[in-house]
């Protein structure tokens, strides 16, 4: 089944009209999300640059996961960055700033590469929250494929072990393939749904692929699921 | 009218291409004679759309206003995946409006094509009526015909090879002569290059 959605006027956070299967226009209004803000988290790429975002993610990680979560994070990220021995907030100019600690030096989070920053925030966030709806916008941005693998692993682990429902928007086939591979390793491909969006002449259409369909499409025919 | 002929492999594609050319004197055409929506779908299938693969796996044959698109999907499983993706393609209705009448699926008999297509349509929740090895998709107004290749006899391989063997047996004298010529040419080439 295909659903066509047509937005009219300026974007104000709600879809006003859609056209149903019979070609009739229907009106729907999306209500704002209610409840504890921690129950639904949106993470997009430019937030990683804001002062306090990594520090807050770090605090969340320690609050909900304890020291084990941090040890796991350091070990996990250490598989790609062997020099990193610890990640701690240090006080500088009366501000708490997250530092990446090596054997002989420490560097503030904010001078690290964009890919590393992105990965670290994702890993801290994904390891700290449970039973939450997570909205991740294009996690592949600025990422080296080897770091992206860490994010894919963390996303799948967070979904399965921490019971988070995760919505990801992506333009990356590599990332899609990584997610499929990770889910297969947990034998949980049935938890995946891929929606391919196509906007043409102002009409947005979407096609839904199950996890198995997406895997077969990628592996057997290298089908471009991005449309 | 456009007919989409889906076969398992490259050998099958070569066989049916030659067969249609011989039987109906169809001419080979470039992919770009097809509607844009079809080209777009093919371009999405990266495993088929890379230039070299496209030449190997896809043929467009034309006779008057009729186009037959033959696609060697790369095996039995990729064929069923291709069919599923095609039926889910958001522009399939546009293609039907532009002349797509029928999808012919040719599989080796041992894969039981009718049952394979039946389960694929069921998994996609597509309604159909069935008769004479053909599925008529009510929603799209499209026909899917199944052909099981392989001859029905005791030494059958249930595969394309049955046809090839049968044709070869009918033309044994010509093939034997061609093989002799090939052998002679190869031997001359080997002597010339000091291998013998």
Q: Which residues of chain A have pLDDT under 50?
A: 1-16, 29, 31, 33, 35-37
Q: How far is CA B14 from CA A42, B21, B51, B54, B135, in A?
A: 52, 11, 17, 13, 26
Q: Would you state the pLDDT for residue A128?
A: 84
For residues B99 and B145, membership in a common domain is answered with: yes
For residues B12 and B83, membership in a common domain is answered with: yes
Domain of B58, in residue numbers: 2-149
Helix count (H) and strand count (E) of chain A?
A: 5, 11
Q: Would you state the pLDDT for residue A51?
A: 84
Which residue of chain A comes nearest to B139, CA vs CA? A1
For residues B51 and B119, membership in a common domain is answered with: yes
Q: Would you state the pLDDT for residue A38?
A: 53
Query: Do B82 and A209 count as a contact with CB atoms less than 8 A apart?
Result: no
**Hunting for tokens 């002679």 — which residue is that?**
B184
CA distance A146 to chain B (A): 23
Q: B128 forms bridges with which residues in the sheet?
A: B137
Query: Do A221 and B125 count as a contact with CB atoms less than 8 A apart?
Result: no
* Residues in B touching A223 (Cβ below 8 Å): 44-47, 81, 85
For residues B76 and B163, membership in a common domain is answered with: no
For residues B72 and B142, membership in a common domain is answered with: yes
CATH code assigned at B49: 3.40.50.10620
A40 part of contact set with chain B, CB < 8 Å: no
pLDDT tens string B114-145: 999 999 999 999 999 999 999 999 988 999 99
* Residues in B touching A216 (Cβ below 8 Å): 77, 81, 84
Q: Would you state the pLDDT for residue B109?
A: 86
Which residue of chain A comes nearest to B88, CA vs CA? A207
Query: Do B85 and A2 count as a contact with CB atoms less than 8 A apart?
Result: no
A58 part of contact set with chain B, CB < 8 Å: no
Task: Quote the CA–CA distance of A174 and A146 in Å, as a whole number.
Answer: 11
For residues B140 and B102, membership in a common domain is answered with: yes
* Residues in A touching B47 (Cβ below 8 Å): 220-223
Cα A138–Cα A141–Cα A147 angle in degrees, nearest 5: 105
**Would you state the structure tokens that stand for residue A62, as one six-digit string?**
């320690």
Which residue of chain B comes nearest to A208, CA vs CA? B88
For residues B17 and B95, membership in a common domain is answered with: yes
Q: Would you state the pLDDT for residue A21?
A: 64
For residues B96 and B11, membership in a common domain is answered with: yes
Q: Would you state the pLDDT for residue A24?
A: 67
How many domains, in total, are found in chain B?
Answer: 2
For residues B38 and B90, membership in a common domain is answered with: yes
Which residue of chain A comes nearest to B50, CA vs CA? A222
Q: Would you state the pLDDT for residue A178?
A: 97
A213 part of contact set with chain B, CB < 8 Å: yes
pLDDT tens string A52-82: 889 989 998 998 888 988 998 999 999 888 8
Identify whether the C-beta of residue A165 lies closer than 8 Å to the C-beta of residue A159. yes
A207 part of contact set with chain B, CB < 8 Å: yes
Percent of chain A that is helix, strand, coil (3-state, to 5): 40, 25, 30
Buried residues in B35-60 as b, exposed as e (16+ CB within 10 A): bebbeebbebbebbbeeebbeebbbb
> pTM, whole model, 2 decimals?
0.79
For residues B32 and B81, membership in a common domain is answered with: yes
For residues B167 and B78, membership in a common domain is answered with: no
Query: Do B82 and A221 count as a contact with CB atoms less than 8 A apart?
Result: yes
Identify whether the C-beta of residue B151 lies closer than 8 Å to the C-beta of residue B166. yes
Q: A3 forms bridges with which residues in the sheet?
A: A206
Which residue of chain A comes nearest to B84, CA vs CA? A213
For residues B118 and B163, membership in a common domain is answered with: no
pLDDT per residue, tens digit, chain B (196 aa), is 999 999 999 999 999 999 999 999 999 999 888 999 999 999 999 999 898 999 999 999 999 889 999 999 999 999 999 999 999 998 899 999 999 999 999 999 888 999 999 999 999 999 999 999 999 999 889 999 999 987 767 677 777 777 777 887 888 888 889 889 999 999 988 888 887 7
């Amino acid at each position: 089944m295909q659903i066509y959605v047509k937005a009219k006027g300026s974007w104000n956070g709600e879809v006003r009209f859609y056209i149903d299967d019979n070609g009739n226009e229907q009106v729907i209004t999306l209500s704002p999300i209610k409840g504890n803000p921690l129950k639904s988290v949106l993470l997009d790429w430019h937030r990683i640059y804001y002062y306090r975002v990594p520090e807050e993610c770090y605090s969340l990680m320690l609050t909900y996961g304890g020291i084990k979560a941090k040890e796991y994070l350091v070990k996990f990220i250490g598989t790609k960055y062997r020099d990193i021995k610890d990640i701690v907030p240090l006080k500088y100019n009366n501000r708490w700033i997250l530092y990446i600690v090596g054997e002989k030096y420490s560097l503030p989070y904010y001078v690290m590469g964009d890919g590393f920053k992105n990965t670290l925030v994702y890993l801290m966030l994904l390891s700290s929250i449970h039973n939450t709806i997570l909205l991740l916008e294009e996690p592949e941005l600025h990422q080296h494929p080897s770091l992206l693998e860490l994010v894919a692993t963390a996303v799948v682990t967070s979904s399965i072990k921490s019971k988070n429902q995760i919505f990801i928007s992506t333009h990356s086939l590599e990332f899609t393939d990584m997610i499929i591979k990770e889910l297969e390793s947990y034998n949980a491909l049935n938890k995946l749904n891929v929606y391919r969006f196509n906007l043409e002449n102002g009409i947005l259409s979407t096609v839904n692929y199950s996890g198995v369909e997406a895997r077969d499409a990628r592996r057997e025919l290298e089908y471009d699921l991005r449309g | 009218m456009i007919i989409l002929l889906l076969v398992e492999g490259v050998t099958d594609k070569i066989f049916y291409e030659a067969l249609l050319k011989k039987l109906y004197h169809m001419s080979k055409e470039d992919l770009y004679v097809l509607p844009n929506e079809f080209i777009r779908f093919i371009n999405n299938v990266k495993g088929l759309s890379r230039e070299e693969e496209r030449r190997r796996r896809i043929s467009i044959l034309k006779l008057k206003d009729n186009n037959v698109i033959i696609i060697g999907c790369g095996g039995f499983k990729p064929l069923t995946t291709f069919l599923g993706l095609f039926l889910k393609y958001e522009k399939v209705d546009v293609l039907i409006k532009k002349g797509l009448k029928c999808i012919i699926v040719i599989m080796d008999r041992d894969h039981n094509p009718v049952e394979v297509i039946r389960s694929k349509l069921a998994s996609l929740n597509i309604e159909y009526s069935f008769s004479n090895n053909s599925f008529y998709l009510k929603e799209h107004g499209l026909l899917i015909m199944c052909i099981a290749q392989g001859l029905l006899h005791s030494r059958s391989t249930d595969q394309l090879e049955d046809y090839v063997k049968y044709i070869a047996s009918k033309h044994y004298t010509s093939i034997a002569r061609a093989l002799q010529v090939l052998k002679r040419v190869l031997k001359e080439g080997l002597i010339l290059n000091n291998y013998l």
